[in-house]
Amino acid sequence: MYEVRVEASFAAAHFLRHYKGKCERLHGHNYRVRAWARGERLDEGGMLLDFGELKGALRKVLEGLDHGLLNDRPEFKDDPSAERIAEYVYRSMAALLPAAPLAAVDVYETDTSMARYSPETAPHD
């Protein structure tokens, strides 16, 4: 099995409406996002997926989040948690790269706190 990963970052503000504690107040993060692709087969050039293609899609998705108030986006339902951000980034990248073997997206709010979304572990809609 082969895996590739790219990383990019964005800065944004948010608050968690349904959280009791300091995170219910407006605050910001310098988010770090990692996108993973996974597959068993390499192309004729010996690559699972071109890093540039994967990173380009990740950057395009994050451009729409950068320096914004995440609560203003309906995708996050007033609670833009790291988990919801990871799912949003995954689904947005999958739409941009429908043939890519996208496996997971990790969203780091801090160096020690991250959430991952992957379709294998996601509950069914």
CATH number at residue 59: 3.30.479.10
Catalytic-role residue among 14, 23, 75, 120: 23
Range of the domain at 106: 2-117
Phi then psi for residue 6, to 5 deg, are -125, 160
Mean pLDDT of 13-24: 86
Please tell me the total count of domains within the chain: 1
* 125 found inside a domain: no
Lowest mean pLDDT among 21-30, 85-94, 105-114: 21-30
Catalytic-role residue among 14, 29, 87, 109: 109
pLDDT at 78: 81
Catalytic-role residue among 7, 24, 67, 75: 67
* 67 found inside a domain: yes
* 87 found inside a domain: yes
44 catalytically annotated: no
pTM of the model: 0.91
67 catalytically annotated: yes
Distance between CA atoms of residues 19 and 68, nearest Å? 20
109 catalytically annotated: yes
* 123 found inside a domain: no
